[in-house]
Structure 1
């Protein structure tokens, strides 16, 4: 004999019931079958809602009751041939008349006791099972409707009754021996006590009913039919890439169901495990899919973690005090107090010093738990031996489950390392001695992120996903998006890395899509996006709380630079093309570096110096490997190098600068380049990275621009340069007379830095520096005379974007 159970979604309406009928009709060809069914989808909740309305003297309960009756009557008419409907329609009407009488009593008394609740909700399963039984009868199948209340005996704990297995097994075996049939249709969820009062087995109890019957009849198999194709490695509503679990052990299934996996009601496993009865979890709407097989030994797979589950709405109770140390009985009194208030303990952890003990409970029980525990320990609290109970709510438990964990060291380290890298704070930890699960208590806000992080860490062999938010969609930003789009498949295939651009922001608009923005149509999408500031953008990033988040600043905006700290504090890595943050006060620069370390985030700004050239990375490698930087000489402005390589007096200096701006080499305001401010920022950043405390005021700047060029707008600047052409020509001619070239050189030595225009002779490394190229010379203990040289294009949207892209890849 086999047992098949179908849940509420499987019997939600007549169309779904027809699918159930087809599956069962096929199954009974193999062997006799017990069919256990739930109430029609949503009916149990409606029955309870109607009872609550009636107890509050709210006459709208009659409307809800009528709607439920109509739904069942309509289902009968759709399921059965018209000539066979009468008896079942009458039966349904009779059941609803009984319900109406019960609700009237509740209405008059203004009271809804647990016993009455059980009686009311029992009608859901009674009605569905009677209707389905009538359907099989109409098909001339040898079937019998069995009232599970006559078979399953429980205590009188209404709402979650405990089963008397000895009496129940005797009842079921006796019932089936007397009345052999091909099919038995049984209402799930309901039972009765020794006084024949209706009881229920807890929400989800239809699974339990099926397991009880399977154990009693020694079934060949128990099949749980639902609306998903078996158990998954994580909740697919939270994890997009959750994978099906083909085989799992009883113990693993119990752990996952206890920690929130909704596929199977937790008590279901025990009755079938004791008889070694295999359990299949199958999909009513995809019956040919394999599903999940639960049995004594699960198959060995590539992953030693079987699944990840979670429980929400948890409160953490912490009992602490020096008076607990070495004194026996504290734990007993704590758990006794909770048990007396029927508070279920979900998780326990205690420090080895015995100074504290923490337990996780359902949030709804936290108030009464605190009251009773504070009462029990009132003497110890008054005498200062124990602190008043601390209650922390708004928490969840995330559990990593797998029998094979015990043979794989380092699972805990991998788990908590992955969580820590994503800024997920763990409030408490518990691991059983059997090592079948590791449980962590964390903020409910972090649950989705945590489950995705862990799923990626333990199950994603194909790729890791970076969620990228880009501020700035101009020239460099546009090039960066194009490069990410072009390299998307390559990165996934070769580096097992998927970069999802999930956010874009310009000066007016914010576009966010956590499933990824289509990079083929991003411009159109951004135009249609809602208005928003950079602060709105940052608030969205923080509220989305996505794993492996990277914020990329490709602006030159001072306001954007102010948000880095708030992002780093949330473990969002920051990639900055914008030089303003790192060239602000030394204190601010150190603060950002410190936040990155403290919150396990990356703060990367390679393109602050030399665009795509590996200048900062090389400097950091030198220092990390124990070298010491003694002197830096550099041409750090691609703009100034381009200008002085192209200016020969044959055309105006202003026109050459204009060309540089049009070709994308300059800052939006070219005076930042020509005035040396940009170069000052760059040499200061290098000096700071080399370990020198330096401010902008500490850097000397030999200006070559007349002061009048700094006044007014950018347009005024160009006009003034035209007026000052003689000045620029004289600078050029002075260098040419000495057979020198003009280069704007930055220097750092002995803790001091300077920038300025210099005459460069032919023997200098800087002489043969063409176009927009930068050149950096590092003189160190290892390179004292022949410097380490870095040379290449130091400006341009493409190379700058490529440097930003490289930093994004490092942030993974």
Structure 2
């Protein structure tokens, strides 16, 4: 069975949805499972709904905007009496009904119940359109198959239950389902973290012992740098699982960090290809002797540089590190880069959930802290160590680290 994942950019409008049929026609539509993200910027729009709900602002006006966007896409795909219009409307009625009756103050819980609707709606529209065009498929609710704990907004997969559920699927058929979403023991929706649709596809691939998994992007494949941020980048035609994991860890946006592990465990080949040029080979990730260790550039923006020191100038010892890391884990703040000296610790942090001020407050009881907000982390993989000066030109360097042909620089 083949797994295809289509991101939000590939289905951002009616023409994008129509193009999916062209991609599938070029690849062969049999024994496959399609995982689809929310359309365009829907996730951002639904995040605004949740934000306005907790601010007691007019969240219903935001819901109406998102609904209109999806109805306009549907108008470009279906005759006006098609049942999909009622399906789309019901999804938005469910969002409104949930928010009107909700009594939970838990932001993350409410977030998952609302924002997950984007994938449910996009997958329903895509599934219905494919059926209309004779690409016969069955729509699946991913929450019936992917099971997690109750860590809202970043659920941890229950692999035993999930494997058991996925094994019930008929591998001779074609399915359309959602990325990013799962459910916990009480069947409340749990999301898998921003950009988690790639991970969902990998979980399905693992459970189905897929022959291959392909992610369809708006770029030719895995490049030596994001072409929107760097000049003169090139395609990496073959890379190993290990190199792909390293690139994802350092922040390469084309690959979700969790995606590779389940694929590597079962040696499932992983392709990154362009939905604009599906006939081109793209990038193959897997066990390969053709791994290309080319100089690659990764830029992680919206980071924070936090310097922590003991108040009495004593060493940063194990008990201090344990205390600091416990706070990071509690608040789900990710470390992008770490560097320590005898009496201080420097951390470049990714604060996806807006918890950095709470972190500072907790640490200031025992430590001196200094924070520089909104910095960038620039990483060069497989760097030419004889020509490092070019990476420092016109940059205000706040922190640097060099190890094994990997150069990392924090700048503002």
**TM-score (ref. length: structure 1):** 0.47
For the pair 1:318 / 2:289, whether they are aligned, the reply is: no
The aligned residue for residue 24 of structure 2 is 24
Question: How do residues 100-499 of structure 1 correspond to structure 2 at under 5 angstroms?
Answer: 100-105=96-101, 113-174=107-168, 176=169, 179-297=170-288, 299-301=290-292, 304-320=293-309, 322-324=313-315, 328-351=318-341, 354-362=342-350, 364-375=354-365, 378=366, 388-402=368-382, 411-412=384-385, 414-415=387-388, 417-420=389-392, 422=393, 424-430=395-401, 435=404, 438-444=406-412
Q: Could you tell me how far apart the structure 1 residues matched to 2:104 and 2:205 are?
A: 40
| Counterpart contact for 1:215–1:275, Cα < 8 Å | yes
Q: Could you tell me how far apart the structure 2 residues matched to 1:328 and 1:180 are?
A: 51
How far residue 281 of structure 1 moved from its aligned partner, in angstroms, is 0.8
Q: Could you tell me how far apart the structure 2 residues matched to 1:335 and 1:112 are?
A: 24
Task: Assess, with a 3 A threshold, how the Cα gap between structure 1 residues 355 and 136 changes in structure 2: closer, same or farther.
Answer: same
Question: How do residues 729-768 of structure 1 correspond to structure 2 at under 5 angstroms?
Answer: none
Task: Assess, with a 3 A threshold, how the Cα gap between structure 1 residues 264 and 369 changes in structure 2: closer, same or farther.
Answer: same
The aligned residue for residue 3 of structure 2 is 3
Deviations 1:482-511 (CA, angstroms, capped at 9, x unpaired): xxxxxxxxxxxxxxxxxxxxxxxxxxxxxx
**TM-score (ref. length: structure 2):** 0.90
Higher relative contact order (CA 8 A, sep 6+): 2
Q: Could you tell me how far apart the structure 1 residues matched to 2:291 and 2:57 are?
A: 57
Task: Assess, with a 3 A threshold, how the Cα gap between structure 1 residues 441 and 62 changes in structure 2: closer, same or farther.
Answer: same
How far residue 423 of structure 1 moved from its aligned partner, in angstroms, is 5.1
How far residue 393 of structure 1 moved from its aligned partner, in angstroms, is 3.3
1:238 match: secondary structure: coil
| Counterpart contact for 1:252–1:306, Cα < 8 Å | no
Aligned length: 408
| Counterpart contact for 2:400–2:410, Cα < 8 Å | no
Structure 2: 5+ residue runs without aligned partners?
Answer: none
Structure 1 or 2: more helix by fraction: 1
Q: Could you tell me how far apart the structure 2 residues matched to 1:78 and 1:70 are?
A: 13
Q: Which has the larger radius of gyration?
A: 1
Task: Assess, with a 3 A threshold, how the Cα gap between structure 1 residues 131 and 2 changes in structure 2: closer, same or farther.
Answer: same
Q: Could you tell me how far apart the structure 1 residues matched to 2:49 and 2:308 are?
A: 41
| Counterpart contact for 1:150–1:171, Cα < 8 Å | yes
C-alpha RMSD of matched pairs (Å): 2.5
1:86 match: secondary structure: coil
Q: Could you tell me how far apart the structure 1 residues matched to 2:70 and 2:349 are?
A: 38
| Counterpart contact for 2:303–2:377, Cα < 8 Å | yes
Deviations 1:85-112 (CA, angstroms, capped at 9, x unpaired): 4322221222222122123346xx6957
1:223 match: secondary structure: strand
Q: Could you tell me how far apart the structure 2 residues matched to 1:155 and 1:97 are?
A: 27
How far residue 161 of structure 1 moved from its aligned partner, in angstroms, is 0.8
The aligned residue for residue 454 of structure 1 is none
